[in-house]
Structure 1
Amino acid sequence: MSVQTLSRAVQLESFGGPEVLSLREVAAPQAGPGQIRVRVTAAGLNPMDWFMTSDAETAARFGLSTPCGFGTDYAGVVDQVGAGVTAFAAGDRVFGGAMSRAVADYVVIDVAGTIAVGGDAHRTPDGVDDRTAATLAIAGCTAAAALAVVKPGPDDTLLVGGAGGGVGVFVVQLARLAGARVIGTGSATSANALRALGAEPVVYGDGLADRLQAAGVTSAIDLHGTETAQVALQLGVPAGRITTIAAQVDGITPANGANAAPGAIEEIAGLVAAGRLRVPITANFPVEQIRAAVELQAGRHVHGKVVIDL
């Protein structure tokens, strides 16, 4: 059992943009009863990471106060096991989420916790590398929750707004595995990336409804804002077959990754291990370059995921 006393963690002393992020030397956390400590090898970035810490009011909504850590998705190896823990052992490869504290050398996880409270951990399947595993928790759970709302199948044409983003790459592929035809909105430069995922690309923006008039859209998931949801309503898609993740529209049920069905993330990890679902990693950065990584990810034009190496 490691008793490492010092470690590195990305922290912020005030809320704001990438400029407030600093890599600091901190006391290494220690696993207590019912907990494991993970030596983090990779941390995946998500829009929620910088959104939550962008200002004090938003941070307070998520229960965050300064000083605090940064990042939620992680992957690594268990190196401490607290009293009473039988589900994991030192040396186990794991992945999961620990809200706003994952970009660090070590993260302590409550074995019975959730991403938002105490963190969660899942076994990393053989055949899934740590960088890929570090992209799964938030995006995978969010995609699973959104698909559970609209339930696309072989008779469906699913419209996905923001299909090339971190959640979109999961939504598109999972919907295709369910047999649905998928149309994905994005910029003109994202067309090839969307085709590679199995989606038919369409440019977002003015005239989107006209461009989709003959497409036969039957369901929609808006991963960016409300444009896709509003267009789907214009096209006659029932409100019950539309969902959003980043905004709310009257009459439409929003999706939240916290509500993903039990076992959903393990199923997604299994699909990755089997080669049936791939996660495009656009860029990986050493932890010392955290500000540059967040600037890239926050630009919202990344096709896939950004990962931090520790």
Structure 2
Amino acid sequence: MIGDKKQDQTADNSSTAIQAGRDVHYHGLTVAEVKEICVLLLRENFPQLRNEARRTAEEHVKSFASLLESRLANDAASIVLEKFREPDVQAAINDAVQASARKGQAANPNILSTLISERVARKTNEYKDIVLSEAVQVVPRLTSSQIGLLSFVHFVKSVVVQNLPSIAGLDPYGQRALAFSSPGFGLSSSQWQHIQYAGAASINNLVGGDIYEALVKEPYKYLAPAEGVNFKVAVTQQAPSFAKLLDQFNTENLFRVELTSVGQAIAIANISNYLGKLDYTIWLK
């Protein structure tokens, strides 16, 4: 859900949580050291690369490490750096480093860094941790367009913008959602099959419906227009960008796409980079 801005700051098991908006005094693992770990993991995993390949791999990893460093600094209010001592967290970083070394931008390093930052978040549960670690392994198997499709489906079906004064308030969200969704428009059937193979979603062609009717019945019931006014017409007139999303959703019948927990985690990570940090535990619980 979007619209709830309440936050608090606690830490469990005597760990040190970083609080934004005040001086930070921390004497454990630093963000810069996390960056160094990425380079060390590269050298441990690819000791036999030829010089040219090694240079390319190092450039890829340094680029990923910079993204991760920036993401950790940006998310400082919600992360616990001691979690980097956990074997599973280090394994997730190792997976991300190896994928980045091999594929560069094609490994979707921005999504990887966002997932790892969330993996060390203060607000967590055992199930969420498992899903995030698995998502780090799946992300490099997907194209940016396939991630766009996952994000598109999750945003329309599962993200609700609350407390808007009118339907027109949906349009700015529609504009931003088009930025991360449109790469996923019109994918071929073979790409859909690959998304299933990767474990990010399942496809059921027997399912269908009208997304306008689905939204006005429940999540956006509070925005239902006056009696006698069609919701689709109202959205088209007042929030054309949001209507473009919903029309595309209907055209492709994306009711048939059901994201797995891993697909949800990947979609949330991508959407968070456009709409601001979302609470993963709403869905991963």
TM-score, normalising length: structure 2: 0.29
> Per residue, is there more helix in 1 or in 2?
2
Q: Computing the radius of gyration over CA atoms, which structure comes out larger, 1 or 2?
A: 2
Q: Could you say which structure has the greater relative contact order, defined with CA pairs below 8 angstroms and 6 or more residues apart?
A: 2
> Per residue, is there more strand in 1 or in 2?
1
